[in-house]
Structure 1
């Protein structure tokens, strides 16, 4: 069964977190597909040998991979990955009208699975895809069963899989070649904390807000207004929050008056001895969550965010702004978790 090298196509690839991890597991990633052309340079320059396909999956012909990459049907050595954008099912406030386009992307991915019948399927998404009203997940699982796939899915905390952040995600693995298949098991005891990966001892020199690193290390931070800098200086080190200055009329924000327990993490500092919170696309901003450095008066840097997502320090992000780079990082599947999935499939494939 495992005489031929495993290969993959990464649908909704973004900046390449899943591709990076699968390649680290020894899997050849043939192509990554995404409608956002701004991902192309980051994807291809960091993942040599993988071709970026700039396309809207809802309009991409099913035979595209057959014609362009000589991908055959019923290939036991082929993995299809479908980590579709998930705004519709996310608990984070977003415009439902804007997010509506992401609601049924898994159905479009399903069409490619049905056409090619790859040996394996991987899906990663927000937990809301399980419980959301009108979720297409149940239909997708029924489709897998009807087409001869065994499968396993869980809502996992990626901190139990070596990721130094509390990141709860839906994860699914499926195989057409095995009567049973299981996701890798996590470890709720050996969970990495912030101090395991950040700080001066881990190669992150102290820098101020607004620092512009000119190297590929991209230890870059967003600027802070004078008032926000003062707020952060008034926030206790190592896990402090905005309640420390709630009675300061000049520092307190009107929207937080009388709402001490609403959005408490906003303007908060991370804890050295806890995992980071979920790294979102807004991790560069202290007003969008607990994204302030535990000690320094700034938000975490782009490289610190990428490290919390387990990107290698050699992985360079190409975009025109801090916000655009943060989007590539925050939307990614952590490569270390993707590598675990790749190794899990490899283990099943060779046995």
Structure 2
């Protein structure tokens, strides 16, 4: 990188012949990062039509296919995107919704439909036999690999001649200004090389490198609404939470600032100095941010308060910490829906590291 303040200054590996279809594409985090690496994104497939406008606005040249993967047939996809079987240049990407396998508390009833998505993705891989396959998910999919279908999928890939890399990676090692652990599988049948994401040399990108006034984020109060596409919009705080935050030390302060105050401390935290301290906490300037979840706009849901200002981080700040560029367009009808799209995304800079590794391998095979 030429500058840590612009996390997309890396130039793509030009003239790549790799083309991809991104299953469960959402708002395009994986697709965008792959494009930055030099991959030609043919299409993104997703059942959530709410992400269509965002995907189309940012993933130039790609088709958005609104489809339920349980109902989409291999032949339909083949005809719609003009795919060929046994194509060494084809990459199929599957970043299925991961709530069922997450350690974060979610409704099992709501998320149970996501548990079999890997098996549906397997169906398309078996049909097309692409040169490359990428799967990205939460680490829980590996911890429960038999139940998730991952173990069966890996064995099948290996039986078909794929060299398979699978591991949990820390995305801050790949230029993302955030601590986030993600399971990643990269399967390759073009060479006998085990491909892994290409890490970034040098120090990790921190909150200070991408946020703050020097990076174009003017100071704003809690509840600020930005009606421009920059979306420097932040949730409001009630009087009690504002008072809590006002006495929380800057640059990494926590709820311990008022843990002995019966009025200010939440009942479950009163006089409890041990245990989880990130809730109601501030980010540190000189560290990568904590994991950006779908609730990052609420400082009561994690260490999501601004390092200095008395507010949670804004939508655009959360997106930048996910490594989206500042001009990435988000089309959603509410703060919560925009935050959900951002928090669920594959960090584009991490996707770029995966894409570059695949392109490098492909060039070496020629």
TM-score band w.r.t. shorter chain: over 0.9
Matched, 1:297 2:315: no
Counterpart in the other structure of 1:325 = 338
Question: Are the counterparts in 2 of residues 256 and 262 from structure 1 also a CA contact under 8 Å?
Answer: no
Deviation at 1:188, TM superposition (A): 8.3
Listed one character per residue, the Cα deviations across residues 259-298 of structure 1 (whole Å, up to 9, x for unaligned) are: 4334321110001111100001110000110000000000
1:61-210 aligned at under 5 Å gives the runs 61-132=73-144, 134-186=147-199, 190-210=203-223
Question: Cα 1:3–1:188, aligned 2, differ >3 Å: closer, same or farther?
Answer: closer
Counterpart in the other structure of 1:275 = 288
Among 241, 246, 254, which residue is 1:233 paired with?
246
What is the alpha-carbon distance in structure 1 between the residues aligned to residue 200 and residue 230 of structure 2? 31
Instruction: Give the match's secondary structure for 1:63.
Output: helix
The aligned length equals: 350
Deviation at 1:100, TM superposition (A): 1.4
Among 220, 226, 229, which residue is 2:233 paired with?
220
What is the alpha-carbon distance in structure 2 between the residues aligned to residue 4 and residue 245 of structure 1? 55
Counterpart in the other structure of 2:26 = 14
Counterpart in the other structure of 1:34 = 46
RMSD between aligned residues = 1.6
Deviation at 1:102, TM superposition (A): 1.2
Deviation at 1:70, TM superposition (A): 1.1
Matched, 1:43 2:55: yes
What is the alpha-carbon distance in structure 1 between the residues aligned to residue 48 and residue 270 of structure 2? 40
Listed one character per residue, the Cα deviations across residues 96-146 of structure 1 (whole Å, up to 9, x for unaligned) are: 222211112111000000001111011111111111272321111001111
Counterpart in the other structure of 1:338 = 351
Question: Are the counterparts in 2 of residues 160 and 189 from structure 1 also a CA contact under 8 Å?
Answer: no
- Structure 1 regions of 5+ residues with no counterpart? none
Deviation at 1:336, TM superposition (A): 0.9
What is the alpha-carbon distance in structure 2 between the residues aligned to residue 43 and residue 78 of structure 1? 21
Listed one character per residue, the Cα deviations across residues 311-334 of structure 1 (whole Å, up to 9, x for unaligned) are: 111101010111100011111111
Among 323, 345, 362, which residue is 1:310 paired with?
323
Question: Are the counterparts in 2 of residues 319 and 325 from structure 1 also a CA contact under 8 Å?
Answer: yes
What is the alpha-carbon distance in structure 1 between the residues aligned to residue 272 and residue 160 of structure 2? 51
Listed one character per residue, the Cα deviations across residues 220-256 of structure 1 (whole Å, up to 9, x for unaligned) are: 1011111111111011111111111112222111122
Question: Cα 1:248–1:257, aligned 2, differ >3 Å: closer, same or farther?
Answer: closer
Listed one character per residue, the Cα deviations across residues 152-201 of structure 1 (whole Å, up to 9, x for unaligned) are: 11211111111111101111111121112220343686211111111111
Counterpart in the other structure of 2:257 = 244
Q: Could you state the TM-score of these two structures normalised by the residue count of structure 1?
A: 0.96
What is the alpha-carbon distance in structure 2 between the residues aligned to residue 63 and residue 294 of structure 1? 51
Deviation at 1:340, TM superposition (A): 1.4
- Structure 2 regions of 5+ residues with no counterpart? 1-13
What is the alpha-carbon distance in structure 2 between the residues aligned to residue 260 and residue 54 of structure 1? 48
